[in-house]
Structure formats: structure tokens, C-alpha cells
Structure 1
Amino acid sequence: MRTPSLLDRLAPPLFIFIWATGYLVAKLAAPHADPLTFLSWRYAGVVLLMTGLALVARARWPSRRDMAHLALAGVLIQAMYLGGVWVAIRQGLPAGTAALIVNLQPVLVAALAPLIGERVAPRQWAGVALGLAGVVLVIWHKLTLGTSFGPPLLLCLMALLAITAGTLYQKRFVPQFDLRSGQAVQFAASLAVTLPLAWALEPMRITWNAPVLAAMAWSIFVLTAGGISLMFYMLRHGRVTAVSSTMYLVPSVTSVMAWLLFDETLGAQAIAGMGVTLLGVYLVVAKRPETTA
């Protein structure tokens, strides 16, 4: 059995922290840039960054077969997931409702994990259910239920299905790849999908002021070079159900950040939800003690 390294231990909390900042980045950039246009610039920046890193390090590039698998997974995880969520929120879907929909991902991943040969134990199912209940408590005050949002709601559901399918697909067909060259391929494919949609559906408005520059730099160098790389690293060395369950902690961390940075409300119910979520994730990811005969 592989002995966990220091990176194995640090990757989950680092990933949760970095991924949680994505919602704050979206909030920072939203008034100044159209969503698909911003994402197109972001993807182009990632392609340049990762291609440069791969060339300098003389990294191994994927085979044609693996490139095809990586491109499809990248379009699902990046173009369809991020694009769906950003456009849905821009079109009026409340952030709390979007967060609740997207955080159904661990439930879907756990249900579909047997398709890639992973077994989900009853204890882990209990953790998945507890984690979802905790997320609901954390974001309850932001939820808007009972209202029809039409296309934005469908976009968010599309995003949920896309990241679930992309995560399982990548784990099944191309779990091992160089993170630099592999991400260059994935984001090039995502750019090839997102840029034409931005051109067709948006005025491609982007104002290059300080908030947008800060959001773009953070998106390229931290959210992608750090966050996406950590997620792929965890998928490579862990079970997909456990990796997906860490997503449950993102709304809690985002709520704390929003409270510190934007003076948003953080009540007792949200704090209780954080505790429930943490317990749920622990049940999913904790290793069972080995028994002796």
C-alpha cells in the first residue's frame, strides 16, 4: 500500500481553500466582464502558462488517444461546468441555489462510482447524506426556492452533470498524465468550445481594470495552476467518491471568506452546518481501521 506523502495530506485542505475562492473571483469580475468572455481569456492564459511550463520542463505529452480523452474531460469539467454556473448566475439564478445544485455532485459520483469499479460503503453513503445536509444549512439563508428560473436552472443542472461525468470519465480513461501538458490540452479544448459561444452569445465586454486583472491573475495562476492541478492529483491517488466529497466543504469556506472580506452574514445555523458537513466528509474519506485475525 502506498504511504501517503506530505502533498497527499496537504492537497485536500489546499484544494478546498483555493476552490472556495472561485466564487469570490466570480463576484469580483462579474460587474466588469461577460462570463464566457472572461472564461475564454482565462482558458487562453492557462494554455500559454501550461504549454510554457511543459516545454521548459520537457514534459511528456499525451498520446493521441489520451489527448482525445483529456480534451473531452476538459470540456466537461471546464467549459460546460464553469460556463454553465457563471452564465446561470449572470442570468439571475441565486448563488445559493446554484451552490446547492452543484453540491449534489458527490451524491451523483457516489451513485455512479460502481461504473468505474469503486464500491461505496454504507458509512460513506451516510457521510454523503450528512455532507449534503450540512451544505443546505450553510447556504439556507441564500436559497431562493419555489421560483421558476427556466434556462438558468437548466444551465446549472447541465453544469452539475458535466462535472460529474467529466470527473468519472477522467478517472476511468486517463487517470495518469503530466499535469502541465495535460492541462494545456484540456484548456485548449475548453477554449475551442467557449470562445465561439462567447462570440455568438455575448457582446464580449471586458473592462481591464484592477478588479478584473486581479480576478484573471488569480484564476490562471491559483485557481487553475493550483486548484485544478490539486484536484487532478487527488483523483490520481485517491478514490473519486472521497475526492468529490471534499467539494461539500467549499460553501463553508466560501461563507467564512465572504464574512471576512465582504461583511456577509454568518449565523449560528451556518456554523452548525459547517460542523455537520465536516462530519459527513470525515465519514466518506476516513480509512477504516484494519482488523486482525
Structure 2
Amino acid sequence: FLDERLRLTQWTGLGLGLVGVISVLLTTGQQEYVSLNWTAMLAAITALFGISIGTLYQKRFGAGVNLLAGSFWQYVSVLLLMAIMAWTFEVREVLWDQQLIFALAWLVIGLSVIAILLLMYMIREGETAKVASYFYLVPPVASIEAWLLFDEYLSIVSIIAIFVTVFGVYLVIRKKPE
């Protein structure tokens, strides 16, 4: 599709990464509250496939698009969709306070603008498999953050799953041996 060929070690890394992500999702959190929610698991895996397919599409058909212009039009389309959904399903009452403003600023500037521009730059300049493999790091990093910030439990199985995921990503992104 993109005239990119993956080495066996990269395929192995993608497989290990997926196994690690699923293991992290199944084993992280306060053990007395953990219950397998198949709907949430299906949503997480669907999101992973969706962003991977979006990455492939962006690489194939959007590589020449100006990053700022492309981001602007993506945000405009999402704004319209989210406005319709918010108007339809939400109560349209906002309690403005300092915490909300800081969280909103972080979500808009940090996660939306900077992260998406970085992602689009990585897609344009790099190999698609390498970019897609970075998505596997989200659940392990979130688990570590939850452990550090919210005192969530990390079992030995969770820690091993994190290492499996990181090793899988390493296999995908490492340079081809000469």
C-alpha cells in the first residue's frame, strides 16, 4: 500500500506490542475494582486500529498537505461534529473555574495542537510502522502515570506487560542491522 516493507523483527515487535498492550489493559489498576469490560476493551482496540488506519491514510494521501492547514481543517470538521453532539446530548451548563481552564488549556494546546502537529510531522517524515508502534506506548505510560499520581496498583504481571510492550516498540523502531 505504501511501498514499505517490514522486516520479520518489525512484525514480531508489532505483535509483541499488541500482546503487551492487551496485557497492560487487563492487569493494571486497583485489583478490587478491575473487571473485564469487553465493551471498553473493544473500544480501545477499535481506537488503536482506527488511528493506525488513519496514519496509513495520512501517509499515503496527505503527505504533501501543509501541517498547519491540514490540522486547521481537521479541527474545524471535528468542531462541527462535537458541537452537534454536545448540543444534542449534553446539558450545556459549564461551571468555569481555574481547574477547568487549566485542564482545557492543556487539552487544547498540549494534547491537541502540539501532539497532533508532532504526529502529522512524524507521519510525513518517518516510516509508518514506526509511527504506528508509538501508539502502543500510550497504555503503559498511562499505567505508570496512574501509579505515580493516583497510587494505582501495578502488579508484577503489569510491569512485565509494560516491558513486553516497550520491547515490541523497540523491535519496530530500531535501525536495520548492517
Q: TM-score, normalised by structure 2?
A: 0.84
Please name the residue that 1:12 is paired with: none
User: 1:235 offset after TM fit, Å?
Assistant: 0.4
Distance 2:157 2:46 in 1: 30
User: Do the aligned partners of residues 249 and 160 (structure 1) sit closer, same or farther apart at CA in structure 2, a change above 3 Å counting?
Assistant: closer
Cα distance in 2 between the residues matched to 1:153 and 1:206: 30
Q: Percent identity?
A: 40
2:161 to 248, 273, 277: 273
Shift of 1:154: 7.0
Q: What is aligned with 2:20?
A: 134
Which residue number in structure 1 is paired with residue 124 of structure 2?
Answer: 236
After TM superposition, the runs of 4+ consecutive aligned structure 1 residues lying more than 6 A away are none
Q: CA RMSD in A?
A: 2.3
Q: Residues 137 and 166 from structure 1, CA distance in 2 versus in 1: closer, same or farther, beyond 3 angstroms? A: closer
State the Cα distance separating 1:134 from its structure 2 match: 1.7
Distance 1:158 1:128, change over 3 A: closer
Q: Structure 1 residues 161 and 281 mapped into 2: Cα distance closer, same or farther (>3 Å)?
A: closer
Deviation at 1:180, TM superposition (A): 2.2
Residue 190, structure 1, aligned to residue 91, structure 2 = no
TM-score by length of 1: 0.53
- Structure 1: any 5+ residue segments left out of the alignment? 1-114
Partner of 1:220: 108
> SS at the partner of 2:91?
coil
Counterparts in 2 of 1:258 and 1:222: CA distance versus 1, 3 Å: same
Look up the SS of the partner of 1:116 in the other structure: coil
Where does 1:24-103 land on structure 2 (aligned, <5 Å)?
A: none
- Alignment coverage as a number of residue pairs: 173
Match of 1:53 in 2: none
Partner of 2:31: none
- Give 1:261 deviation, angstroms: 1.2
- List per-residue Cα deviations over 1:252-274 (Å, max 9, x = no partner): 11111111111111222222112
Structure 2 CA distance for partners of 1:274 and 1:123, relative to 1, 3 Å: same
AA aligned to 2:145 is M
CA distance in 1, matches of 2:18, 2:62: 29
What is the DSSP-based 3-state SS (H/G/I as helix, E as strand, rest coil) of the residue aligned with 1:208? coil
Report Cα offsets for 1:91-114 as digits up to 9, x if no partner. xxxxxxxxxxxxxxxxxxxxxxxx
